[in-house]
Amino acid sequence: MKSLKKILHVLIIIDCNMKKYIIASLALLFLTACEYKEDPIFDQNPKERILSSLQNTRKLLEGHDGYWLLTYYPEDYQEGFWVYPYLSTLFPSTINFPKYHRSLGGYNFILKFSEGKVTASSEVVPTNREETTYYSYTISEFPILSFNTKGDIIHHFFSSTTNYHDARGGEVDFFIDKVEKETFTLRGKRNGNIMTLSKLTTDRETFLNKIRENRDKLLGKGLSPISIGGTQVKLELFPTTRQIAFLYENDTKYQQQAFIVTEKGIKFYEPVSINNVTLSELYFNEDKTALVSPDANFSSALVPSPLTITNSTVISFEDSKASPYLIEKYEAAKSWAENIFSWGTLSKKVKLVPMTGNEGENATGIEIVETTEDGSGWSGYYLVDFVGVAGAPTQVKFLSKGPQDSKENYLYFFKDPAIWLAEILVRSAPYTVENHSSEYYRLISVGDANVWFLVKK
């Protein structure tokens, strides 16, 4: 009995002590909770911070008295159909050829911001004219710079046209990823392409004229092979699609990268890495006959085309002026067109012509005419680069881009048979150019001697 009383007495003491401990702990916790106070991280509330960010960005954009340079990359995701006929061991068909983003290349836009308006000019139009529309700057989940109202220049790649029903991958809304040293890094809201907005340090018109001069130096040019890190690398230049392809390691590896034309030469959208050597830019040499690396470790000569394109450069699908194979293909295209449109037929004459490209550049292409019984007709224009071949000064390649985008182009009326015929000419390249007579050149396919035609000089 005494033992039981002792045990109860101990338990009562423990219970009392536990109560004291619990009460003391709660009191300490209460005091800590009441006395603890964290210093605020921001001096402003969220709404004030958003308004401040908007004001600061607008102040930076509009506070600059000069112009801003926007490096703009529309998103066009295409297989490189212009390459595979020449790399048949690596890519035997378009099914095997990988697709590439930004397959139209990059373009320069010059912008000026003032009182909620943006004034734009660009190399994508033939002149240095300016156009003023409205812009906005808002914040949702990210800060967004938007070009709100339609304009021919600022919406060049965003607007649908007759030949480009789905437009050409343009952007009008841009997330502002960061601002460093007064340079904005933008990201297209629809397609995610990275672009930059930085202060233009030269005269606007001088800059645009320089860009046009440099891009014209690339027109009609191939590139000679180079050695990178001890590896021989073949280069393929696509002037009006602003791409360079790199083929190396015995034609088993292939890279393709979009570029933008700069005052010095070209700059790639993303660096190209081959054998631990990284290329971000290439510069023109002094007389603009080659592209060289910034460290001058290699130089690739610009190879001119042996074929000069004029408005009189005509192919005639007639006996003695074209091979039986091509005449057969022409007759098939003609029959196809007549089945589609009973009121017309394809002309026997196809022109290789100089033209203005979709982005305002000087360009070249193929003109195919749909004629009616009274001799009138409609011209269809298909953009094609005629470029030189490295190591073969008498050869020319045809690199197709697609329909020309202009009001004068009626290719959509008869495009399937016309494009099929044009692509036969393109995919039979490269051609050896022979001096057939004082009046004609003779072009013979390097891959198939059964494909040949005369063109008027």
Residues 433-457: what's their mean pLDDT?
Answer: 95
Residue 396, SS3? Answer: strand
pLDDT tens sequence across 7-37: 434 434 434 444 444 444 444 444 444 444 4
Asked if pLDDT for residue 372 goes beyond 90, the answer is no
pLDDT given at position 30: 41
pLDDT given at position 48: 55
Order the strands of the 265-274 sheet from edge to edge. Answer: 221-223, 299-304, 290-292, 277-284, 265-274, 253-261, 243-248, 231-238, 226-228
What is the pTM for the complete model shown? 0.85
pLDDT given at position 36: 44
To which residue do tokens 């006996």 refer? 319
**Contact yes or no for 283/290 (Cβ under 8 A):** no
pLDDT given at position 84: 55
Residues 6 or more apart in contact with residue 163 via CB below 8 angstroms: 402, 403, 404, 405, 409, 411, 412
**Contact yes or no for 83/246 (Cβ under 8 A):** no
* Dist. CA 188–CA 23, nearest whole Å: 61
pLDDT tens sequence across 192-228: 999 999 999 999 999 999 999 999 999 999 999 999 9
